[in-house]
Structure 1
Amino acid sequence: MCGIVGYIGQQDVKDILLNGLEKLEYRGYDSAGIAVVNEAGVHIFKDKGRIAHLRTVVDETVLSTVGIGHTRWATHGAPNQRNSHPHQSSTGRFTIVHNGVIENELELRQEFLPNYNFISDTDTEVIAALIEHFVLEKEDVELAIRHVMSLLHGSYALGVIDANNPEVLYAAKNKSPMLIGLGEGFNMIGSDAMAMLQCTNQFVEIEDEEFIKLTREGVTIYNLLGVTVKRDPFTAELDASDIEKGTYPHYMLKEIDEQPYVIRRIVEQYFEDGDIKIDQEIVKAVKEADRLYIIAAGTSMHAGFVGKQMFEQLAGIPTEVHISSEFVYNTPVISKKPLFIFISQSGETADSRAVLVKIKQLGYPSLTITNVPGSTLSREADHTLLLYAGPEIAVASTKAYTAQVAVQAVLAAKVAGKTDLDLSRELAIVANVMESITDHKEQYEAIAKDYLTQRNCFYIGRHVDYYVALEAALKLKEISYIQTEGFAAGELKHGTIALIEKGTPVIAIVSQESVNLNTRSNVKEVKARGANTVIISLRSLSSETDQIVIDDVHPLLTPLVTVVPTQLISYYAALQRGFDIDKPRNLAKSVTVE
């Protein structure tokens, strides 16, 4: 959630900041702002709304080569101009942007700032006030910022400008993601590489509780004690063109269409001459575990449920799936030799990281499956498997979900060893079937128009189709705002069928032979009570009345193809309602606060 970009260099900074913030729009936000400094002082431009609106607020006559920018997703205080970042200390000397949540802000206000006149409702303004407070006491800006860092409980990524020294840009990090971008005659900070790719592809990771001093000529990293930290840069594996929409009206539609390519790339990356290429240390860690614990949230959790089927059916390893935000505060009894698998598109999910910190303290091994190399969950886990899905910009995840399912299948097959499953061949079939689905978009546009006419909707399925129903329901509700629930089909008659009335859309998924007739029986039950039903089925299980029929794939891999029609139905439902498909209200792509 939220995004930061900062620059100190030779060029006018306004467009660099605004362009960088636009690349961070996918993270979700409700307001935005920039601050630039020159000989006349600090100039702040901020307001509620999108970057496009912010551009109309910025004074183009103000020239500067140093600045910080921010997109805000409200946690403290309403989304408005007053609470938008950047924020300043009372004299205006220090200007800051901040991602994260300061958990002890009330205590800090009472102890150090009892008579301070706060302008905003944010925890961020407390940080700015504290920096100024301790500069007056310690007479050293760097020492003051590090001291404030030691007092903060919670998460933060900070960019700081000192009006008295505009030749330096300061930054700090704890739990919230931030990178350094390196250039010739300039240096940058950003919440992720995409915000800085316009200027550089050379980056340096920042660890928790590190303080950074940036000038045009160089970057110095310190720990909290002021000891210099040396760390080598890395080259980003992103192509700036990957994050452009091209001819697509929305990123989500582009990313749905990219799924066949993603599956083929996973095959390319993980297979060689028919053998699966995975680090033997990862395979060993999975084989030695007596139980796998998949930790995830939202869409990644739904992918984890599908992965559970694969690990248990292919590799024979008992597997549990847990919501990360619940696990960290309500930890169950853990087996004797667990392996924790963290699934996250961004690798920055705060709830999952809290679990990772906890299980590391307990000495348990960990594996992260993520789309972002160098992300926090990737760096801090013992092992990483990459999704190779490319940047996913739309808030509603599509290609990252299918990549998560596919990579879990690859890992499960590798651990299982020789089986009758020729996974590379079966995944190639999956890619072809995905392509055939996306080639007939008009079918799903028509279904969205004809069936999704009510305020409510249900997805139902049994077996692995239930897990797809959960993901399908989430996708529809998060971008079309139709109240949608995913249910195990057999559970409808245990209460939920009371909600079925004339015209209620119920979409059933049928991909498993063992429950085909059972699910169809449940469809008849809701249809008898007035529901408007749609059935998504595999060709070998289909009936002539099924509205969506998909070519067959291996039974273990059906979630990879049955989910694609539901993604397209969600897209067209939101499109027909005129909503912001790529940036749905109140949501963030990378959830970096607990």
Structure 2
Amino acid sequence: MCGIVGVIGNNRAKDILLTGLEKLEYRGYDSAGIMVADDSQAYLVKTPGRVSELRALANDVPEGHTGIGHTRWATHGVPNTENAHPHQSTSGKFCLVHNGVIENYLELKNDYLTDIALKGDTDSEIVVELVDYFYRQGKTPFEAFKAALDKVEGSYAIALMDVKDSNTLYLAKNKSPLLIGLGDNCHYVGSDAMAMINETNEFVEIKDGERIILTPSELTIFDRESNKLTRESFVADIDATDTEKGLYPHYMLKEIDEQPSVMRKLISEYLTEDGKTTIDENIISHMASSDRIYIVGCGTSWHAGLVGKKIIEELTNIPVEVHLASEMGYDMPILSEKPFFIFLTQSGETADSRQVLVKVNELNLPSLTITNVKGSTLSREATYTLLLHAGPEIAVASTKAYTSQIAVMAYLAQSIGLKKGLEKASSIDLAHEMAIIASIMDSMISEKELIADLSESFLGTTRNAFFIGRGLDYAVSMEAALKLKEISYIQAEGFAAGELKHGTIALIEEGTPVISIITDEKTASHTRGNAKEVESRGANVLTISLENVAQEGDQLVLLPVHELLTPLVSVVPLQLLAYYASLQRGLDVDKPRNLAKSVTVE
């Protein structure tokens, strides 16, 4: 949610800002804007709606050499032009873009800005007016910027322009992501490397509490106490072409189709040719010696964690707890004597998860971030990192990150189990199993026409749907329900099949869609019994089963895989069901309403 782009010293500033904002559209937003400056004048353009509308409005704006841009996801104030960023101070001196939430904005307004007629309702506008306030007290622009930040409480990534000095930008960060891109006698700013990848792949991270002066030729970093810092740059391994849809109508469909190749890539990334792990021995030893593993995630990552719990416990004999980051951040459980934390996050910037990681670091406890984004905040701040190697995921509804998280946890679990000399860990040939899984994924993806027909038949007109399963199938049911509800707006819930009779079956009516997932031999007959119970009450049952437990009449039958890895194949047709349900309703598949890809506020 919310994206920042900035540039200084490049004569294509407008185009760079607009293109960068388009790269950030996947994060979710409801308005957009840019300010561009040349040597004589600054131009501010902003609007509710899409970046395409902003581009049309900015058609007559000169290219300029310096500017800042923003896509906003509303927190304070409705989506309109006044609340859109950038925000310019009443005096016209300063212009600002901000991601995050200013917790004490009302106090700041009452203490310092009672004589200012604010244009909108955002907390961000308070910050730019506060900078202007301190400037009018006789401070330099940078001193005024620092003075304002010293008063601010909350999360922020900020880029500030002095409209009268288009050769300087001021930056700051606290709990919200912000990177600096290095160019040839120019610099770039972005909340995501994707915003700048067309211009550079070399970046410098900004850490919490730091303030930066940026000119075309210089980058100067200060800590909170105004000490000057130096920092090495890093190169991001991202191919700009990876973010293009190509011939696909939607990113989500492209990303579903990429899952087989991601599974094959992970084999080469995490296993050598002779089947040995490439995972850092320090990670394996640290986790093998722990007495409990705590998996932390949100949404789809939390669902992946539920699958990971089963895999890790089975292959390592270490108990695992799975926690929602948004809950754990405020209610840390009683920890074991030797805990180890795993953070699952596609973006590596999830604010709820970072809140937990900060507390884990304060306790000096070991942690591992499993993420798709090298150099992201949770990656940098955890003890260890393992990458998903899934390539950029643009669609808001996560697909390949989910399956990659499960696969990486399987490689990790086996490595720990082998370290401990456990027979279960040595009994599974992961390279062979993952190769089979990639092939089964391919076969499911080739059934798009059948799945589209099933979506039309079972979900075409419904307002609600239920997914049921037991064990790992229950975990997949919750993920399938999330996929359906977030992009089709169908009220969907995933349930443990055996729990239907404890209340939920009261919601079954004539024609209610119930998608039954059956992959486990131990519980297959029980889940079928639950499916019969709802069918007898009028439910329209769609069954997805594994070949070894399939029965005549099952609409989708999957080839068998190892019992711990069934979610990797059973989820694919469910992702496609959600995709077609959204498509058939004429909705925006990649950018569902009210949602953001990277949730950078708590």
- Tell me if both proteins adopt one fold, taking TM over 0.5 as the criterion: yes
| Residues in 2 aligned to 1:377 and 1:61: alpha-carbon distance in whole angstroms | 38
| Residues in 2 aligned to 1:350 and 1:278: alpha-carbon distance in whole angstroms | 27
**Alpha-carbon contact 1:149-1:209 (below 8 Å) kept:** no
Matched with 2:406 is 405
1:533 aligns with 2:541: yes
Matched with 1:427 is 434
| Residues in 1 aligned to 2:38 and 2:451: alpha-carbon distance in whole angstroms | 54
Matched with 1:354 is 355
| Residues in 2 aligned to 1:192 and 1:63: alpha-carbon distance in whole angstroms | 22
Q: Normalising by structure 2, what TM-score? A: 0.97
Question: Structure 1, residues 271-326: CA drift from partner, whole Å, max 9, x if none?
Answer: 01111111111111211211111110000000000000011111111100111010
| Residues in 1 aligned to 2:545 and 2:120: alpha-carbon distance in whole angstroms | 54
1:520 to 489, 509, 528: 528
Which residue identity does 2:436 align to in structure 1?
I
Once the two structures are overlaid, the 10-residue window that deviates more, 327-336 or 302-311, is: 327-336
**Alpha-carbon contact 2:9-2:167 (below 8 Å) kept:** no
1:383, distance to aligned residue in structure 2 (A): 0.6
1:48-447 matches, within 5 Å, as: 48-272=48-272, 273-417=274-418, 418-447=425-454
| Residues in 1 aligned to 2:126 and 2:518: alpha-carbon distance in whole angstroms | 54
Which residue identity does 1:161 align to in structure 2?
M
Q: Alignment RMSD, CA only?
A: 1.0
Which residue identity does 1:434 align to in structure 2?
M
Which residue identity does 2:285 align to in structure 1?
K
1:505 to 513, 517, 521: 513
Q: Please, which runs of 5 or more residues in structure 2 have no aligned partner?
A: 419-424
Matched with 2:465 is 457
| Residues in 2 aligned to 1:63 and 1:203: alpha-carbon distance in whole angstroms | 24
1:556 to 541, 550, 564: 564
| Residues in 2 aligned to 1:450 and 1:409: alpha-carbon distance in whole angstroms | 35
Q: How many residues align?
A: 594
1:39, distance to aligned residue in structure 2 (A): 4.1
1:336, distance to aligned residue in structure 2 (A): 1.2
Which residue identity does 1:229 align to in structure 2?
L
1:500, distance to aligned residue in structure 2 (A): 0.4
**Alpha-carbon contact 2:98-2:157 (below 8 Å) kept:** yes
Percentage of identical aligned residues: 56
Question: Structure 1, residues 156-213: CA drift from partner, whole Å, max 9, x if none?
Answer: 1111110121111121111111110101121100011111011111111111111112
Which residue identity does 1:199 align to in structure 2?
E
1:38, distance to aligned residue in structure 2 (A): 2.8
Matched with 2:421 is none
- What secondary structure, in the 3-state scheme, does the structure 1 residue paired with 2:160 have? strand
Shift in alpha-carbon separation, 1:326–1:61, aligned structure 2, 3 A: closer
Once the two structures are overlaid, the 10-residue window that deviates more, 131-140 or 75-84, is: 131-140
Question: Structure 1, residues 79-136: CA drift from partner, whole Å, max 9, x if none?
Answer: 1111100101110110000000111111211222233221111000011011111112
Question: Structure 1, residues 49-69: CA drift from partner, whole Å, max 9, x if none?
Answer: 001111121142434111000
- What secondary structure, in the 3-state scheme, does the structure 1 residue paired with 2:543 have? strand
1:40, distance to aligned residue in structure 2 (A): 4.2
Which residue identity does 1:447 align to in structure 2?
L
- What secondary structure, in the 3-state scheme, does the structure 1 residue paired with 2:283 have? helix
Question: Structure 1, residues 497-531: CA drift from partner, whole Å, max 9, x if none?
Answer: 11100110000100110000000000000000000
- What secondary structure, in the 3-state scheme, does the structure 1 residue paired with 2:107 have? helix
| Residues in 1 aligned to 2:118 and 2:337: alpha-carbon distance in whole angstroms | 51
- What secondary structure, in the 3-state scheme, does the structure 2 residue paired with 1:276 have? coil
- What secondary structure, in the 3-state scheme, does the structure 2 residue paired with 1:213 have? strand
Once the two structures are overlaid, the 10-residue window that deviates more, 530-539 or 226-235, is: 226-235
| Residues in 2 aligned to 1:121 and 1:40: alpha-carbon distance in whole angstroms | 31
| Residues in 1 aligned to 2:371 and 2:39: alpha-carbon distance in whole angstroms | 44
| Residues in 2 aligned to 1:265 and 1:138: alpha-carbon distance in whole angstroms | 58
Matched with 1:546 is 554
| Residues in 1 aligned to 2:318 and 2:60: alpha-carbon distance in whole angstroms | 61
| Residues in 2 aligned to 1:419 and 1:28: alpha-carbon distance in whole angstroms | 43
Shift in alpha-carbon separation, 1:486–1:39, aligned structure 2, 3 A: same
Which residue identity does 1:497 align to in structure 2?
I
1:31 aligns with 2:31: yes
- What secondary structure, in the 3-state scheme, does the structure 2 residue paired with 1:188 have? strand
| Residues in 1 aligned to 2:115 and 2:357: alpha-carbon distance in whole angstroms | 39
**Alpha-carbon contact 1:457-1:484 (below 8 Å) kept:** yes
Which residue identity does 1:225 align to in structure 2?
E
Which residue identity does 1:561 align to in structure 2?
V
Question: Structure 1, residues 207-249: CA drift from partner, whole Å, max 9, x if none?
Answer: 1111112111122211122222111111110001100000000
Which residue identity does 2:457 align to in structure 1?
D
Once the two structures are overlaid, the 10-residue window that deviates more, 531-540 or 110-119, is: 110-119
Once the two structures are overlaid, the 10-residue window that deviates more, 108-117 or 183-192, is: 108-117
1:31, distance to aligned residue in structure 2 (A): 0.5
| Residues in 2 aligned to 1:144 and 1:29: alpha-carbon distance in whole angstroms | 30
Shift in alpha-carbon separation, 1:367–1:138, aligned structure 2, 3 A: farther
| Residues in 2 aligned to 1:91 and 1:115: alpha-carbon distance in whole angstroms | 12
1:424, distance to aligned residue in structure 2 (A): 1.2
1:328, distance to aligned residue in structure 2 (A): 1.0
Which residue identity does 1:372 align to in structure 2?
V
| Residues in 2 aligned to 1:531 and 1:267: alpha-carbon distance in whole angstroms | 41
- What secondary structure, in the 3-state scheme, does the structure 2 residue paired with 1:413 have? helix
**Alpha-carbon contact 2:469-2:516 (below 8 Å) kept:** yes
1:487-506 matches, within 5 Å, as: 487-506=495-514
Q: Please, which runs of 5 or more residues in structure 1 have no aligned partner?
A: none
- What secondary structure, in the 3-state scheme, does the structure 2 residue paired with 1:100 have? strand
Q: Normalising by structure 1, what TM-score? A: 0.99
